[in-house]
Amino acid sequence: MNWRSEVERPPGFVFRKHRKGLLRSSETFILHCEDVPLAKLAERYGTPLYVYSTTAILKRLGAFENAFRRVLHTICYSVKANSNLSILRLMARQGCGFDVVSGGELERVLVADRRAAKKVVYSGVGKSRKEITAALKAGILLFNVESESELWVLADCAAQCRTVARVALRVNPDVAADTHPYISTGLRKHKFGVPIGNARELYGKASSARHLKVVGVSVHIGSQITDVAPFAEAIDRVADLVRDLRADKHRIDYVDIGGGLGIEYQAPNLQFVECAARYARAVANPLRGLNVHLLLEPGRSIVGPAGALLTSVIYRKENDGKRFLIVDAAMNDLIRPTLYGAYHEIVPVVQSKKSPAKKETVDVVGPVCESGDFLARDRELPRVEEGDLLAILDAGAYGMALASNYNSRPRPAEILVRGKSAKIIRRRETGRELYAAEL
* Residue 382 amino acid letter: P
Residue 435 and residue 428 in contact, taking contact as beta carbons nearer than 8 Å: no
Among residues 96, 157, 161, 369, the one annotated as catalytic is: 369
* Residues facing residue 318 across a β-bridge: 323
DSSP-assigned states of every residue in 410-434: PPPEEEEEETTEEEEEEPPPPHHHH
Q: Which residues contact 137 (CB under 8 A, 6 or more apart)?
A: 161
* Beta carbons of 256 and 215 less than 8 angstroms apart: no
Number of other CB atoms surrounding residue 419 within 10 Å: 11
DSSP class of 222: B
CA distances from 137 to 93, 101, 105, 149 (A): 23, 16, 15, 21
**Side chain identity, residue 254:** Y
Euclidean distance between CA atoms 120 and 100, whole angstroms: 7
Q: Is 96 a catalytic residue?
A: no
Residue 407 main-chain phi, psi, to 5 deg: 65, 25
Please name every residue paired with 36 in a beta bridge, in sequence order, or none if there are none.
33
Could you tell me which of 108, 105, 148 has the C-alpha nearest to residue 125? 148
Residue 171's H or E segment, with its range, is: strand 165-172
Report the C-alpha gap between 41 and 38 in whole angstroms.
5
Those residues with Cβ within 8 angstroms of residue 208's Cβ, 6 or more apart along the chain or in another chain: none
Residues with a catalytic annotation lie at 369
